[in-house]
Structure 1
Amino acid sequence: MVSIKDIARKAGVSISTVSYALNGNPKVTPETSARILAIAKEMNYIPNAAARQLKKQESRIIGAFLTDFTGAFYGDLLQGMKEVLNRKGYDLIVCSGLQSHRLLPERMIDGAIILDSTFSDEELLDYADRGHRLVVLDRELSHPAVNQVLLDNKAGANLAMDYLIETGHRRLYVVSGPSDSFDSRQRMSAVRQTLSRHPELDAVVLEGDFNQGSGEAAGRLILEQWQGPAGVFCLNDEMAIGLFNAVAASDSGIRVGEELSIVGFDNIALTRYIQPRLATIEYSKYRWGAMASEQLLRMIAGEEVEHERIYVSLVESESVQDRR
């Protein structure tokens, strides 16, 4: 690999002169700078990003860490992050997996946005103790170097459950998410609080995994146990669509929006293309990502930040039958 020492030797100048020229420093005359840049191009010189980063103590890169990339959830979230960062001269890299955690201690990025259950709280707090700036979307952590931008999961779950109860449903199913998901745990906490206030309800919790396959499995189980009209709250839209598909593919004669009501969570684009359209909990995934980036950049700049919350609303639709 060509180094600045090789360029200096060919140009007949010092290494510092080459460094000044490559970095646009006015200490080098325009003529000398142009000659050095031409030689660098001729020799196919590639700057050493790691060395430059070490010198400047910044990479102008932010990492977004995700548990995985499956489903239709992440597009708007990442777009919100990217647009805010790009406007401020930063780039975004998206990571998943344990090996990607090395980017933080090796300081290959200037800060991180975390939506990744493979990070333990202890690991993140250790990074924060070392001065890394973090924004978490999937947990509550108390540390000056950690900011929280959290979805109002409990409010969303309350809206979904109240919608089914207020429309006259007395037999309810809830399809949960993975146990290591902060969002799932928060939503289930609200579900249990609602059920404790309504002991007259016949409620069953089915285990899910935030994917369509687990929704389909829940749908088949509901059909096997069918005892009459029921309402279902799926803790995300992917599972709700899977459940919808399982019912539609069966020969039970049961129809969504008539005998069976379904509410999801996330308002992903696919919900607009099923009939009847899915009732769901809506929020701006774009705004969530944009807010995370805004908060992180303010922390990097040394500004004070407060924790933020992304608010939700109910999208009523024909997938819920009014049984009153």
Structure 2
Amino acid sequence: MVSIKDIAKKAGVSISTVSYALNGSEKVTKETAARILGIAEELNYVPHAAARLLKTRQSNLIGIFLTDFNGSFYGDLLQGVKDYLSRNGYDLLVCSGTRSRRLIPERMIDGAIVLDETFSDEEIIQYANKGHKIVVLDRELHHPNLNQVLLDNKAGAALAMEYLIGLGHDKIYAVTGPIGSYDANQRLRAVKQIVERNPQLEFIEIQGDFGKASGEAAARRIEAEYSRPAAVFCLNDEMAFGAYRYLRNHSSLVIGEQIHLIGFDNIELAQFSQPRLSTIDYSMRKWGALASEQLLKILSGETVDHERIYVTLVQGESVKPITPLSD
């Protein structure tokens, strides 16, 4: 690998002069800098990122940590993060898995955005205690080096449940998410609060994992138990489309007639589904951009408040009014 020592030897100058030229310093003349840069290009010199980081203490890299890359959920979120960072001179590194976390203590990234349930709260607090700047999207933590940008999960789940009840549905299934997921647990908590306030409801909870396969499994069970029209609140759209797939391909039950489906996230596929999926909408790009904005503010020493991403209801033909059976 070519080093600045090689460039200095060929240019007939000192190593420090090469370093000044490569870093755009005014300590060397434009003519000398141009000659050194030409030699560096000729030799295919690649700057050593770790060495530069030790000198500048800044990588201009932001890491986002995700549990996994499954489903279509992350695309717009990551685009929102990338667009904002790019406009502000930063690049994005997308990470998953425990080994990637060493980038934080090794300071190979300037800051981190965390949407990864496998991080423990204690681990994140330890990083914050050591001065690392982090924005979390999936938990509530309080520390001067931490900020949280959270979805209004409870409001979204309440909107979905009240919509179903308002249309006369009195038998409601909830297909839940991963046990360790903050978003899933917040949504389910709101669902149960609505159920407690409506004792006339027949409520059945089915464990899911936010994946299509668990939505299919839930639909299979619902079909086996079917005795009258039922509403199904899948706590994300991926599971709702798993239920779609099973009901369309393996069941005589019709969505919007016997089975009334509502999801959460309003992923792109939702607008093309037939019947159109009822769901809870929010801007994933805005979520990603706001998380990036908050992180860069923390890095620059600004004091920031926690932020929340608000949600709205999208009404589709997958849910229709129903007249409750009389006693």
Between the aligned residues of both structures, percent identity stands at 62
Distance 1:259 1:29 in 2: 79
What is the SS of the residue equivalent to 2:26? coil
Structure 2 unaligned residues grouped into runs of 5+: none
Q: Which residue of 1 aligns with 2:276?
A: 277
What is the SS of the residue equivalent to 1:149? strand
What is the SS of the residue equivalent to 1:278? coil
Distance 1:87 1:103 in 2: 23
Q: Which residue of 1 aligns with 2:309?
A: 310
Kept after mapping to 2: 8 A contact 1:234/1:240: yes
Q: Which residue of 2 aligns with 1:297?
A: 296
Q: Which residue of 2 aligns with 1:3?
A: 3
**C-alpha distance after superposition, 1:138-157 (max 9, x if no partner):** 00001110000000000000
- After TM superposition, give the deviation of residue 95 of structure 1 in Å: 0.6
TM-score, normalised via structure 2 length: 0.97
**C-alpha distance after superposition, 1:261-298 (max 9, x if no partner):** 11100000111222111000000001000100010011
What is the SS of the residue equivalent to 1:117? coil
Q: Is 1:248–2:272 an aligned residue pair?
A: no
Q: Which residue of 1 aligns with 2:236?
A: 236
- After TM superposition, give the deviation of residue 5 of structure 1 in Å: 1.6
What is the SS of the residue equivalent to 2:186? helix
**Aligned-partner residue type, residue 32 of structure 1:** T
- After TM superposition, give the deviation of residue 66 of structure 1 in Å: 0.6
Distance 1:126 1:162 in 2: 40
- After TM superposition, give the deviation of residue 171 of structure 1 in Å: 1.0
**Aligned-partner residue type, residue 82 of structure 2:** K
Alignment of 1:1-324 (within 5 A): 1-251=1-251, 253-324=252-323
**C-alpha distance after superposition, 1:20-44 (max 9, x if no partner):** 1111212112222222222222222
What is the SS of the residue equivalent to 1:26? coil
Distance 1:321 1:6 in 2: 73
Runs of 4+ in 1 over 6 A off after TM superposition: none
Distance 1:34 1:285 in 2: 45
What is the SS of the residue equivalent to 2:223? helix
**C-alpha distance after superposition, 1:185-217 (max 9, x if no partner):** 000110111111112111100010101110000
Aligned residues: 323
Distance 1:240 1:32 in 2: 64
Distance 1:208 1:312 in 2: 22
**Aligned-partner residue type, residue 282 of structure 1:** D
What is the SS of the residue equivalent to 1:255? coil
Distance 1:287 1:308 in 2: 11
- Which range moves more in the overlay, 15-24 or 170-179? 15-24
**Aligned-partner residue type, residue 283 of structure 2:** S
Distance 1:147 1:182 in 2: 16
Kept after mapping to 2: 8 A contact 1:259/1:321: no
**Aligned-partner residue type, residue 245 of structure 1:** R
Distance 1:30 1:240 in 2: 62
Distance 1:7 1:250 in 2: 68
What is the SS of the residue equivalent to 1:281? strand
**Aligned-partner residue type, residue 116 of structure 2:** D
What is the SS of the residue equivalent to 1:78? helix
Distance 1:161 1:255 in 2: 21
Distance 2:190 2:136 in 1: 21
